[in-house]
Amino acid sequence: MNKSISGLVVFIFIVMITACSQKNADYTFSGEISGLKEGTKLELVPAATHNEEEPVASAIVSNGKFEFSGKLEEPRLYYLQVADQLGVLKIMLENSEISLKAKAVFQESNNRTFVDFSDVQVSGSNANDLYMEKLAFKSKFGALHEKYYKDHDAILVAVRNAKSKAIADSLRNTDDYKAFAQAEKDFFTSLEKTSNEAILANKDSWWGPLVMLESMSYFTDEQIPLYEQFSETAKNSYYGQLVKKELYPERVVGKQAPEFTLADREGKTFNSLELMEGKKYILIDFWASWCGPCRREIPNLKHMYELYASKGLQIISISKDEDRAAWLKALDKEKMAWPNLLNKNDIDDLYFVKMIPAIFLVDASTGKVMDDKLRGEGLDQKLKELFQ
């Protein structure tokens, strides 16, 4: 055989072997985290999904070390966490040998333990290095956010501790508070601009959707034009599909309102179909005690109830609170006169609730959902039309 041909055959063989080994490459993720006890269980949880995810892998700390292994179709972002504890460490994994060194400190807050990870050093993951580079602006804005709040701490404390709404309103009219409001407006304007630039700088790959997921806590229709600038490759990626699902979610509008049976604070159960009997329209309101916009919507719901309850309006509030005590405290303060139930068995998932407040308008005569995007003045106007 000609030597040049022989050499070519060997070269092709080596390339094929290398390609195969890369395609089937596994990852190993190992390391040491000081501060963890022997036998501590660590978990990997998918990150940047905008959903509560279950762990996909676990490892036990032995002799001060841990190791995960597996295979990935493409780099993925994960939370590394101590089982049953709050506090996470983010890391991008890829099919390579990745090592980690970090420090863990356990702290107590509100009768719960959480883990603070610090002095984090990651090697062996180019994707993790790129992630830190592409999302570096978040740290910058985190510091700016902390600074302008600190600069205006005195007026914010005064407003928070005001003994009446009138006093709070008068404080909000001061130059100090107006300066805070302007600083906050400037902050979010700058953050939006910088985030959008970072997203579009990566619009041709899965990095774009990932940066989008990491830059924003939730999406609204305002982000659709941003998503539509992604390449088809980006849209079809794992993170691209997550963004699409959130921007174009499944909806129950036009469909039968899913039936549910839930309990109130006294343990009395209510069935949704029974609550619709004899009514014309139903508002199903998903909320939580910790949700500021939800609490601000309650006075409007009370007003609607006063106007239309006698004409056939029923309101059903379903709380997503996991802290029962916080829910009961909110109920005592808000004093809502309609059935107030606690979410169980993922009833919110049946309605495809992604963010709260989420209010569903149901035609009681058909049991079908008419709308799921009505709030404030829009809700007021719609009910006015229906009950005229």
Query: What is the pLDDT, as a whole number, of residue 105?
Result: 94
pLDDT for residue 355: 83
What pLDDT does 165 receive? 80
Q: CA-CA distance, 149 to 154, in Å (whole number)?
A: 9
Q: Answer for the pair 27, 70: CB distance below 8 angstroms, yes or no.
A: yes
Cβ atoms of 134 and 148 closer than 8 Å:
no
DSSP state at residue 62: B
User: How far is 263 from 150, CA to CA, in rounded Å?
Assistant: 43
HEC assignment per residue over 340-384: EEECCCCHHHHCCCCCCCEEEEEECCCCEEEECCCCHHHHHHHHH
Give the span between the Cα atoms of 81 and 104, in whole angstroms.
Answer: 10
Phi-psi region of 270 (alpha: psi -120 to 50; beta: other; left: phi over 0): beta
Q: What is the pLDDT of residue 25?
A: 56
Q: What is the pLDDT of residue 17?
A: 37
Angle, in degrees to the nearest 10, between helices 153-160 and 136-151: 70
pLDDT at 234: 97
pLDDT at 360: 96
Q: In the prediction, which pLDDT does 121 show?
A: 97
Q: Which two tokens stand for residue 358?
A: 């989420």
> Rounded CA gap, 97 and 27, in Å?
6
Q: Tell me the pTM.
A: 0.69
Neighbour-count burial of 383, counting CB atoms closer than 10 A to its CB (0-12 exposed, 13-18 middle, 19+ buried): buried
pLDDT value at residue 9: 41
Q: Using CA atoms, how far apart are residues 329 and 64, in angstroms rounded to an integer?
A: 44
Q: What is the mean pLDDT of each run of 10 residues along the chain (388 residues)?
A: 42 40 70 95 96 93 95 95 93 97 88 88 97 93 88 90 88 92 92 95 97 91 94 97 90 93 93 94 94 90 94 95 91 93 90 90 95 89 92
Q: Is 302 helix (H, G, I), strand (E, B) or coil?
A: helix
DSSP for 192-259, please give it: HHHHHHHHHTTTTSTHHHHHHHHH-SS--GGGHHHHTTS-HHHHHSHHHHHHHHHHS----BTSBPPP
Q: Count CB neighbours of 16 within 10 A.
A: 10
